[in-house]
Structure 1
Amino acid sequence: MLKAYKYRMYPTKQQEEMFSKHFGCVRVIYNWALEQKIKSYEQDGKAISRFTLNKTIPTLYKDMEWLKEVNSQSLRGATLNLDNAFTRFFREKTGFPKFKSKKNPVQSFSVPQYYKVDFETNKVKLPKIGWIKTKLHRHFDGNLKTATVSKTSSGKYFISILVDDGKELPDKQDFDENSAVGIDVGIKDFAIMSNGEKIDNPRHLNNSVKRLKVLQKRLSRKQRGSKNRDKAKQQIAKLHEKIANQRNDFQHKLTSRLISENQAIALETLTVSGMLKNHKLAQSISDVSWSSFVTKLEYKAEWYGKSILRIGQFEPSTKICNVCGYHNNNITLVERQWQCPDCGASHDRDVNAAINIKKFALNKQNLIGI
């Protein structure tokens, strides 16, 4: 089973310079490889493989000798990242790969092999760079795979180490109506369970939006190219990083609890990209980050042998009475409570939706009535 472990790095000034060289050289190779792929397709109508590109990289050393200063395998890792970008483009339609800019504050490079991790001294050794002070706060056992060094927009350095612990993913555990839960995500409440529990939306971005506006206003007044403008950018980047850390911490704690308490979790498929086109709700939807929440649920379910059940985005989970099945076409977004005219049952709009999500998902699994 593959797991990634992320650690904060504290390089010296000299090591930071080597990091910058690696970031720059990897970016150059990525852009060069993308250009070669585009030219090959336009001229010959064929795609050029990354293996062919890797064989061509040594010929670039004549005109760009500074490429020799960095780890050659990191350069070849750039062509692999480009291949993965094209794979996502063709399979997931996520957008055609773009050329990378050195103005982007977020930079990274990969180290496929020949690096070492020493937990006793809290250091990581990278080819061409040496031993780097690293906060190795979590221990792991297994075979080291690819490591990725990254720099955030706030100027911090991290290393993500992919480890194969040799374990197999556990088999999916059996579940029934009692061990499954339906979840309806929202904006007022972050998550509503079919058992009636509601998880408050922490609104991390909304809580910091006033401070963010102040910092952005200060940035707009700074002269372009000045050091004070760079400092203002750093302050904004640090605030965005704090918000992202708060959001991830909240979601990790919640998803871990949900996975440990239930054998199966039923969710509604949402097209977040389409929902973001609603300018009145776009900021609130971005703040809750449903996609990130679902991603965490999915990979943790794989780790522990739990099941994630899905229902279609057009299933009328909100409009159907979970008691008698009456379809209420007249319900609006403003109505948070409604009463079924057929059976008289009173419904909380979101709890009713969560119950129906669970019922629809179990019905597809032929588990209703167990």
Structure 2
Amino acid sequence: MLTSNNLISISHKIELIPNNKAKTHFKKAFGCSRLAYNWGLAKWQEYYKQGIKKSHLELKKEFNAIKKEQFPFVYEVSKYATQQPFLNLNLAFNKFFKDLKQGKISYPKFKKKRESFGSYYIGGDQVIIKDNKYLKVPNLGNVKLREKLRFIGKINSVTISQKADKFYASFSMQISQDEYNKTHKITIKNNQSVGIDLGIKEFISLSNGLQIKAPKPLNKLNRLLVKRARQLSKKQHAKTKQEILQGIKKSNNYKKASIKLNKLHSKISNIRADFLHKLSSLIIRNFNYIGLEDLNIKGMLKNHHLAKAISDVSFYEFKRMLSYKSQYHKRKIIEAPRFYPSSKTCSSCKSIKEDLKLKDRIYHCKECGLSIDRDYNASLNLKYFAQEKIGLVQAEFTPEDLTALLKDLAINNLITSKVETGIQQKSYL
């Protein structure tokens, strides 16, 4: 996001190449971070029952007073591993009270120990990069980076995390606008707007007639996912509380199968994230004004027939990426109200078709006789909505612009199709 004095806050995530000693240290730090968070949450609940209000700073002070006697092992890792969780707990409660006013319940939960996942925070004053290829971790030493840090600027913090069998360092930095421009593609300067209709069959339909498909990695790898989950369940491990009390431990084969399953989950997540990053960056670079619909995604996920397909395309993450990237490039996103009838409104005469059903893929207008692809019609309405809100005359989308956009899509290996009136002609770039 943009900050004052022409500075930009940005994150850069780099894979680490740790040895066994470093892996053990990271897992110990994950455990200390989890301990501090759970201790703070338990204490907050205890004081709440007694009618006592304690701030996160008071809880942190209380933890620091007893950690030397009760938890001496926390001194083996960075001090931030047990300090930052209290700030995170404060943010969690702030979110809970904010959501409560809107009728939502998001009470903070205790963190569980997970074999292949975890994270902890290191403050910027303890972060040292050596020779552009090593990260000096407090209380550990140098850990090799998979690649060099791309940006020159101030490092505010680093978060060490694990996902499946890989470890990462996420650098939070402040850089100048010039430094940002060196490492990102130039934004196309125009005054064009676009309407975007989100869907499952075609991930997005643009008001210029293009539709873009999502890779849907969960759907493609679902059979392998089920197979590995079944294999994991058959390995020796405690399946009930009684077996846990009996001391049944996880076998080595269980741990190996667990890593294989986690790696597959990670692969699915990475494919989806790669697609969403490429697509959101492409749209932000090519359009000044973006019209979107405000979808009730949580409500949509309650439909058990569509929940899996909706999760596979990740509408929320796509909108989140568009939102923060628009700040970097000074673009504007105009979101239509949740009940705006973008699909039911005729993009030509503006009449509303109340009896439109989900299975009706072609929009037939009884008033003016227009016959048009349903999603394309919705994207046009979202574009017109954005234009009305802006109150400016938008530049025409020319064949040259379309050629440049198609070329950009082809470079990123994004599958597109061109929509005609009521007919879809497929072309794979």
Q: TM-score, normalised by structure 2?
A: 0.80
Q: Distance in 1 between matches of 2:317 and 2:24?
A: 33
2:412 is matched with which residue?
A: none
2:324 is matched with which residue?
A: 299
Q: Shift of the alpha carbon at 1:217?
A: 2.0
Is the Cα contact below 8 Å between 2:363 and 2:377 reproduced in 1?
no
Is the Cα contact below 8 Å between 2:193 and 2:394 reproduced in 1?
no
**Pairing 1:144–2:155 present:** yes
Match runs of 1:5-154 below 5 Å? 5-46=12-53, 48-56=54-62, 57-92=64-99, 93=104, 95-103=106-114, 105-112=116-123, 113-120=125-132, 122-152=133-163, 154=164
Q: Distance in 1 between matches of 2:66 and 2:230?
A: 48
Is the Cα contact below 8 Å between 1:106 and 1:151 reproduced in 2?
yes
Deviations 1:299-328 (A, max 9, x none): 110001001110011111111111111111
Pick closer, same or farther for the CA change 1:359–1:11 going to 2, 3 Å: same
Is the Cα contact below 8 Å between 1:88 and 1:94 reproduced in 2?
no
2:346 is matched with which residue?
A: 321
Mean CA deviation greater in 142-151 or 213-222: 213-222
Is the Cα contact below 8 Å between 1:326 and 1:342 reproduced in 2?
yes
Report % sequence identity. 35
Q: Distance in 2 between matches of 1:223 and 1:63?
A: 34
Pick closer, same or farther for the CA change 1:94–1:297 going to 2, 3 Å: farther
Q: Distance in 2 between matches of 1:118 and 1:60?
A: 32
- Give unmatched runs, 5+ long, in structure 1: none
Q: Shift of the alpha carbon at 1:220?
A: 2.4
- Give unmatched runs, 5+ long, in structure 2: 1-7, 182-186, 238-249, 396-429
1:255 is matched with which residue?
A: 280
Mean CA deviation greater in 318-327 or 104-113: 104-113
1:156 is matched with which residue?
A: 166
SS of 1:192 mapped into structure 2? strand
**Pairing 1:184–2:197 present:** yes
Q: Distance in 2 between matches of 1:266 and 1:345?
A: 22
1:223 is matched with which residue?
A: 236
Q: Distance in 2 between matches of 1:118 and 1:192?
A: 47
Q: Shift of the alpha carbon at 1:361?
A: 2.7
SS of 1:74 mapped into structure 2? helix
SS of 2:14 mapped into structure 1? strand
Q: Distance in 2 between matches of 1:363 and 1:41?
A: 50
Deviations 1:233-275 (A, max 9, x none): 2111111111111111111111111011100111000111110
2:422 is matched with which residue?
A: none
1:273 is matched with which residue?
A: 298
SS of 1:343 mapped into structure 2? coil
SS of 2:157 mapped into structure 1? strand
Q: Distance in 2 between matches of 1:130 and 1:137?
A: 18
1:199 is matched with which residue?
A: 212
Q: Shift of the alpha carbon at 1:85?
A: 1.5
Q: Distance in 2 between matches of 1:44 and 1:218?
A: 49
Q: Shift of the alpha carbon at 1:91?
A: 2.5
Q: Which amino acid aligns with 1:181?
A: V
Mean CA deviation greater in 49-58 or 257-266: 49-58
Pick closer, same or farther for the CA change 1:193–1:369 going to 2, 3 Å: closer
Mean CA deviation greater in 306-315 or 94-103: 94-103
Match runs of 1:286-365 below 5 Å? 286-365=311-390
Q: Which amino acid aligns with 1:362?
A: Q
Mean CA deviation greater in 281-290 or 64-73: 64-73
Q: Distance in 2 between matches of 1:72 and 1:41?
A: 27
